[in-house]
A and B are shown apart, each in its own frame.
Chain A
Amino acid sequence: MPELIRANEPFRFYTKLHLTELTGLRAATLNQLLILIKEVPGSCIYHHTHRFLQQHEYLSPEPPNDFAYWVSEVLGEDRLGERLSSIDTIQFVAIRSLRDKLIATIDDYLKNDPLSRLKFAREGEEFHFIKSVSFVFATNYIAYDLREFREALERITLDSLYFHIFDARLRLEHGFNDFSNWLKNSTGDRELAARLSRLDPYTYTLEELRKTIIEIIDERISSSHG
Chain B
Amino acid sequence: MAKIEEYAPIVGESIIDDLKLLADKLKGKVIQNINSTAVGGGVAEILSRMIPLLKELGVDARWDLIKGGEQFFEVTKKFHNALHGSPCEITSGDFAIFMEQSQRNIDEAVIYGDVVFVHDPQPVALINKKTDNKWIWRCHIDISSPNHKVWGFLRDFVVKYDAAVFSAPNFSQHLPIRQFLISPSIDPLSDKNIELPQETIDAVLKKYNLRKDKPIITQISRFDRLKDPLGVIESYLLVKKYIDCQLILAGGTAADDPEGIKVFEEVKDRAKQNPDIHILLLSHNNIEVNALQRASDVIVQKSIREGFGLTVSEALWKAKPVVASNVGGIPLQIKHKYSGLLCHSVEGAAFAIKQLLHNPEYAKRLGQNGREHIRNNFLLTRHLREYMLLFLSLYHNEDIVYL
Contact = CB atoms under 8 A, between A and B. Distances in A.
A19 B373 contact: no
A32 B403 CA distance: 36
A73 B339 CA distance: 14
Given A43-B399, A125-B326, A157-B18, A69 B174 contact: no
Interface string B137-162: 00000001100000000000000000
A119 to B, nearest CB: 17
B166 interface: yes
A43 B401 CA distance: 12
B338 A19 contact: no
Interface stretch (A100-108, A126-134, A216-224): A126-134
Given A131-B399, A133-B401, A140 B21 contact: yes
B169 A56 contact: no
Contacts of B173: 24
Chain B interface residue bracket vs A: 35 or more
A22 B18 contact: no
Given A19-B393, A135-B401, A59 B335 contact: yes
Contacts of A78: none
B372 A58 contact: yes
Interface in A83-120: none
B148 to A, nearest CB: 16
Interface in B317-347: 326-327, 335-336, 338-339
B393 A157 contact: no
Given A19-B182, A20-B182, 20 more contacts: A24-B173, A24-B174, A24-B175, A55-B376, A56-B373, A58-B373, A58-B375, A63-B338, A124-B170, A124-B326, A128-B170, A133-B393, A134-B399, A135-B389, A137-B403, A139-B17, A139-B18, A155-B13, A155-B14, A157-B17
9 nearest A-B residue pairs (beta carbon): A128-B169, A58-B372, A137-B403, A22-B172, A20-B181, A22-B179, A19-B389, A157-B14, A43-B399
13 contacts: A15-B18, A17-B385, A19-B386, A19-B390, A21-B179, A24-B174, A24-B179, A59-B338, A59-B372, A59-B373, A124-B145, A136-B403, A159-B18
Interface of A: 15, 17-22, 24, 26, 41, 43, 55-61, 63, 69, 73, 123-126, 128, 130-137, 139-140, 155-157, 159-160
